[in-house]
Amino acid sequence: MAQSSGRNNETTASVEDLSRQVESLKSDIAALTQTMGELGKSAGRELKHRAREQADDVQLRAETAVEDAERYVRDHPAKAVGFAALIGLLIGLLSRRG
């Protein structure tokens, strides 16, 4: 009977030890999950910031191109009309073939 009692104590100690390890593992997983979530949010904010900067840059370049085109048309109206007529002719020829 002494052996049975000794094994029972060992089993109880092993179960308690295993239970503590499982609780520790749960805590570690929770901390890791929180860290990964924070990392993902941080990366998302950084990507959003970069995308906004690039969009602003593209918008500025587009506005500059439109201003340049408008200035060219005001400075060279005959060339602008001739160019528009040429583009219209090319579109007409291409649509006729299709």
> What residue segments make up the domains of the chain, in order of their start?
2-97
**Is pTM, for the whole model, over 0.85?**
no
Helix axes of 77-97 and 2-75: crossing angle, nearest 10 degrees = 120
Q: Are 73 and 80 in contact (CB under 8 A)?
A: yes
Whole-angstrom distance, CA of residue 98 vs CA of residue 88: 16
**Percent share of the chain, pLDDT over 70:** 92
The predicted pLDDT at position 93 comes to 93
CB contact set of 72 (below 8 Å; sequence gap of 6+)? 80
Please tell me the predicted confidence (pLDDT) of residue 2. Answer: 47
pLDDT one-digit tens code per residue, 30-76? 999 999 999 999 999 999 999 999 999 999 999 999 999 999 999 99
Tokens of residue 59, six digits: 């918008």
Residue 15's pLDDT is 86
* pLDDT of amino acid 98: 62
